[in-house]
Structure 1
Amino acid sequence: MSGAVSQDDKGARAANIFDVARLAGVSHQTVSRVLNDLPNVRPATRARVEQAIAQLRYSPSPAARALVTRRTRTIGLVSPGVSDYGPSSIAMHFNFAARAARYNVEAVSSLDDDPGAVRQVVESLLRQRVDAIVLIVVDVGVLEVVRGLELSIPVVAVAASPRPSPLIVSIDQYRGARAAVRHLAELGHTRILHLAGPAGNPDAIERERGWRDELIARRLDIVEPPRGDWSAESGHRLGPDLGVEPGEAVFVANDHMAIGLLSAFRERGIRVPEDVSVVGFDDVPEAGYLYPPLTTVRQDFAALGGLIMQKVLIAVEDPETVTEDTPLPTRLILRESTRAV
């Protein structure tokens, strides 16, 4: 084949992408598409490029690939500097999905929810030439910053929000909360209290909104909820503040606070579910092994990780086709912490 690289040339230096292109008789852009496993390459052309790669023993460096494709196949991930179950699970499953798509993830933790600090983290990732940024949002102020960013790469936010957006993905916290409250109401509970999460957290806001709307729809009284910080300690501490009475029920904004609440109830001689029904949210691994096993709302974090990666790929490869996604559904898991009155 004309344009082949001589043995002397190959001995003098390592082959580059242009050598592969000459040997295969294609453009370097076509070689790049094969290397990045992109569509719209004919099978015969792909085979010819792969044969040239093998013959030249070509191994593209990340820097060389970025030079030609203007991409690094690296995604920046900004996650909160906390070990809460939800954000940690999202980060883990997104990493799995990125790895399956043959992308690297550059993970950075934001130690606080200050929008200015998050902006600095985003700028640091831009300097590393990532192809896109995924931001796990735990404060609505940060979400507003994301909406206002004008960057040369896509930023995909993971956040519950009543305002849909093409670059926001989420699990349906609102409908999950309504399902939990509906279950309690259908058991005959007419006073359903709530132990809420942090005031600025998008998930907590949507779960509280679902609780309120379901009570309003059923014309049940609303008692303003105390707020915890997602921890079992805060659930234990705030348990007495609920003023719960026999025959009532509590919808807790997450399972860990529900764990603390169950402990506080036992200390006060309140039996679950004989006296009070309790529903959590998340379905943490230990939820089924509590005493009693906890009725809760399960989130599919594996599906969310895949959806985030799918959104990133579309935003990077064909940004004009990015559309709004329906939030992923939740599932109510019935266990022994709820009972009909």
Structure 2
Amino acid sequence: MTRVGAQGGGATAPRAVDVARLAGVSQKTVSRVFNGERYVSEDVRRRVLEAAEGLGYRLNNAARALASGRTRSIGVVTLGTALYGPASLLIGIERATRDAGYALRVVNTLEGEPGGIAGAVESLLDQGVDGIVVSEPIDEGTPSLSVDVPVLVLGAPAEFGSPRVVTAGVGAESLARAATEHLLDLGHVTVHHLAGPQRWFAARDRLIGWRAALAARDRRQPPVVEGDWSAASGYAAGQELAAAGEVTAVFAANDDMAIGLIRGLADAGLRVPEDVSVVGFDDIPVSAYVTPPLTTVRQPFDAVAQEGLRLLVQAIEKPDAEPAPASDPPVDLVVRGSTAPPPVR
């Protein structure tokens, strides 16, 4: 169909401002109607939809939103970072959201940004989303937030007051425990831990899993070395651990640090895995091609995203139904060449 602009200038696509002018309302009101937001009178809705129909402007989307009371859109609050874990989880969320028939709206926050989560949530609510996914991996000390749509929490950010809050997680604690147990099963007396920055919830979970594995077998817990997720911090940790002596096994909280750790140990004269075994976390694509190939635990990003979106969509579409139970994410230990029994001394 040929669409004619409000000013009669030919076959130009109509704009929201054209609809607002014809309906005699503000452009913000047009947005509220199309997003299915409340607190818009029926007379105003009718005028806006009639104007949209006359102009041929997004009539089907507007009518569908009005009829269902939903915009079929989901908002995501996530840390703006290129780190493998958060970026991979966001990709999984995007796929799961599209498969569920919803549009995705993303607002990134910055590490250390005051009020970043609260501002991101408010921005998404202004866009009329039907539900919100909070995939915020860092503890920013955000106070409790109140929203009027269901919320899916990935990780452990601020508490939410919401019609329904559902949770899903990547199971970092159980994955870290499996990584540590693998090294103990090989015969290592204990396992050192190269932790991620403790402001990150995932780093805390991996630390907890490491400690639980050692405690379950009544093994000594060596002092923790903390990195910043980078290979450079892993390299520095490798130098530090090599100087400490009596280190035969290390569980690193991500693969980048594990790869740096191996290089740091090598430059200090220690071989992996002949002298020190190393396990990483994430299974980044390059981990199979470093020397030696890295033993690691694979995070189930797609599975977690699909499970979480299933719970969120149910909360949106069946608000009175009993919440579905969440299933445990799988543990996938990928054994490669960086682990072996301890050296005989």
C-alpha distance 166-330 of structure 1, shift in aligned 2 (>3 A): farther
**1:335 paired residue number:** 336
**2:155 paired residue number:** 159
Secondary structure of 1:280's counterpart equals: strand
Distance 2:112 2:77 in 1: 11
**2:283 paired residue number:** 283
Q: Is the 8 A contact 1:181 1:214 kept in 2?
A: yes
**1:76 paired residue number:** 75
Per-residue Cα deviation, 1:8-53 (whole angstroms, up to 9, x for no partner)? xxxxxxxxxxxxxxxxxxxxxxxxxxxxxxxxxxxxxxxxxxxxxx
Secondary structure of 1:189's counterpart equals: coil
Deviation (angstroms), 1:62: 2.4
Residue 86 of structure 1 pairs with residue 103 of structure 2: no
What amino acid does structure 1 have at the position aligned with 2:335? L
**1:325 paired residue number:** 326
Per-residue Cα deviation, 1:275-323 (whole angstroms, up to 9, x for no partner)? 0000001111111111000010111211112112212211101133224
**2:233 paired residue number:** 234
**2:185 paired residue number:** 186
The 5 Å alignment of 1:1-341 reads 60-114=59-113, 116-141=115-140, 145=143, 148-159=144-155, 167-242=166-241, 243=243, 245=245, 248-320=248-320, 321-341=322-342
Distance 2:309 2:191 in 1: 38
| Count of aligned pairs | 280
Q: Is the 8 A contact 2:137 2:156 kept in 1?
A: no
C-alpha distance 195-241 of structure 1, shift in aligned 2 (>3 A): same
| Larger RCO, structure (CA 8 Å, separation 6 or more) | 1
Q: Is the 8 A contact 1:131 1:316 kept in 2?
A: yes
Larger proportion of helix: 1
Distance 2:196 2:156 in 1: 14
Deviation (angstroms), 1:250: 0.2
**1:44 paired residue number:** none
Secondary structure of 1:72's counterpart equals: coil
Q: Is the 8 A contact 2:111 2:138 kept in 1?
A: no
Per-residue Cα deviation, 1:236-290 (whole angstroms, up to 9, x for no partner)? 1222223453661000001111111111112112100000000001111111111
Superposition CA RMSD, Å: 2.3
Q: Which structure 1 residue ranges, 5 or more long, are not aligned?
A: 1-56
% same residue: 41
**2:45 paired residue number:** none
What amino acid does structure 1 have at the position aligned with 2:63? A
Q: Which structure 2 residue ranges, 5 or more long, are not aligned?
A: 1-55
For normalisation by structure 1, the TM-score amounts to 0.77
